Structure 1
Amino acid sequence: MLGTPDILEDLAILGVLDGKLAVGSMNRGGLRGAVFEMDDRYTAYDVDSMVRSKLDMAKLLVRISLDDPATPGALESAANAVTRSAEMALPLMIEPFMSHRVNERIVNDFSAEAVITSIAIASALGASSAYSWLKLPVVPDMERALEATTLPTLLLGGDLNGDAVGTYKLWGRALALDGVHGLTVGRTLLYPEDGDVAGAVDAAAALVHG
């Protein structure tokens, strides 16, 4: 379960996190649609609070815009979080994107070239990469993209776009690549087009474990 403190604490009180991996989300300050969206400050968990709460892993978002002056500060904050996670031996997922504004909206670039660039930047963040993981979208030419890193990788689910079978096939091919260890899937499984949440979860689990 990946979430902010309000979600994870409620689930912990209910006892439903027992026996499950709990991952804390760190930076949620870059509100969608805001003029400061790229200035994605760390307003949720920090590393020390996750260690005190005995969470299993951390997660941070790194959106990199070459034409936005907030990007250097965001990269510095991400690097500091990676360094602190390594010091505390807390595994951390870095979710990097090359991003830019289109009609006042932040849009992520899902081309293989952009993902390779984001991987190169994210992999070098912090004083140590010993506890760093990557959380990457499944893109065309995924094999070439993954050649850009030796870090362990989890795959984003993305949107089904009306083609669940095609999406599952893409996931399956990507999961077979070296360095890929699983899926981190949210709304794709929670809100499948046919409404069958259990069926969607079973299909994803079969890809990972089968």
Structure 2
Amino acid sequence: MLSDKRWTELLHTRATNPSAVRQAYATRKRRSRLLSDNGTLFLVAAEHPARGAPDRRTLLDRLLVALASPAVDGVVGTPDIVEDLLLLGALHDKIVFGSMNRDDGFTGYDARTLVDCELDGGDMLLRTVDSGPGPASNLQDCADAVTELAAYGLVAMIEPVPQENPDSLARVVTIASALGTTSAHTWLKLPPTGSTGVLGATTLPVVLGGMPPDRMPWHRVVRGLVIGRTLLHPPGGDTRAAVEAAAKVLEAAK
């Protein structure tokens, strides 16, 4: 989908017209509702390049394939990825979450910028150690981000990492759920699990950060999927087929 012509135009725009990025944010057609008509949310995760994933053209090509599917509601990405997709015209009528941190420090989007860019929410990692929170600075930064996003009416999507056994993950879920001055706009991104201990530890909406196993029992708090490498770099390389398979799993669950 990313032809030589489109790729060359993107590179030319990046080099000669930086104001095009702001224009692309301003003219993006926004979707009015977070959830699909089926009450679910299916996002493609594209924040992993911030950890050093190479070959941007291949990544963007696969993202374009995924986002072209009507089953895919949108994307989670770092500013550079989101802006590439905006310049390619791929994010109209899609939900867009901006990645706020990929390590302990918040080095990506901040709440004010997410509002100014008219995105739909912020995605953040909550660093955990054993069965409790990790560095105090990360915990405070996540709490502050939750508070700021909620003040603007944007969703805060919290992903506790690393994930451990179900008992410790359930405890971390309760910690993540309590961050900030309100949980009204907080969602949790958790590993694919049917554990009632984990999913029963919160009333907040949950998205599963990966393809759930076959015949996994679905808990009522689970509202959707946020999948990255499994869709963008599947065995055999067929992104379209991987997207269709994930969409069928989500449809069957609801």
TM-score (norm. length: structure 2): 0.66
Give the structure 2 partner of residue 150 of structure 1.
Answer: 203
Give the structure 1 partner of residue 84 of structure 2.
Answer: 10
CA distance in 1, matches of 2:220, 2:132: 34
CA distance in 2, matches of 1:173, 1:93: 23
CA distance in 2, matches of 1:67, 1:143: 17
Contiguous gaps of at least 5 residues in structure 1: 31-39, 98-107, 159-166
Matches within 5 A, 1:174-193: 174=217, 176-193=218-235
| Secondary structure of 1:133's aligned partner | strand
Task: Indicate how the Cα distance of structure 1 residues 4 and 191 shifts in structure 2: closer, same or farther if over 3 A, else same.
Answer: same
Residue 168 of structure 1, CA deviation = 4.2
Give the structure 2 partner of residue 206 of structure 1.
Answer: 248
Residue 66 of structure 1, CA deviation = 5.8
Task: Indicate how the Cα distance of structure 1 residues 93 and 151 shifts in structure 2: closer, same or farther if over 3 A, else same.
Answer: same
Give the structure 2 partner of residue 63 of structure 1.
Answer: 127
Residue 173 of structure 1, CA deviation = 2.3
Letter in 2 for 1:131: H
Give the structure 2 partner of residue 102 of structure 1.
Answer: none
Does the CA-based 8 Å contact 2:167-2:197 persist in structure 1? no
CA distance in 2, matches of 1:109, 1:58: 20
Contiguous gaps of at least 5 residues in structure 2: 1-74
Does the CA-based 8 Å contact 2:131-2:168 persist in structure 1? no
Which of the numbers 161, 167, 183 marks the counterpart of 1:129? 183
| Secondary structure of 1:125's aligned partner | coil
Return the structure number with greater relative CO, CA threshold 8 A, min gap 6: 2
Q: Identify which range, 176-185 or 188-197, moves more after superposition.
A: 188-197
Identity of aligned residues (%): 42
Residue 55 of structure 1, CA deviation = 0.5
Task: Indicate how the Cα distance of structure 1 residues 96 and 46 shifts in structure 2: closer, same or farther if over 3 A, else same.
Answer: same
Residue 182 of structure 1, CA deviation = 0.5
Give the structure 2 partner of residue 89 of structure 1.
Answer: 153
Query: Alpha-carbon deviations, 1:128-150, whole Å to 9, x = none?
Result: 000000000024x5122111000
- Which aligned segments of 4 or more residues in structure 1 are displaced greater than 4 angstroms? 66-70
| Secondary structure of 2:98's aligned partner | strand
Does the CA-based 8 Å contact 1:91-1:132 persist in structure 2? yes
Does the CA-based 8 Å contact 1:168-1:204 persist in structure 2? no
Alignment length (residue pairs): 178
CA distance in 1, matches of 2:207, 2:122: 13
TM-score (norm. length: structure 1): 0.79
Query: Alpha-carbon deviations, 1:106-136, whole Å to 9, x = none?
Result: xx34310121011011001000000000000
Does the CA-based 8 Å contact 1:110-1:137 persist in structure 2? no
Residue 69 of structure 1, CA deviation = 10
Task: Indicate how the Cα distance of structure 1 residues 92 and 185 shifts in structure 2: closer, same or farther if over 3 A, else same.
Answer: same
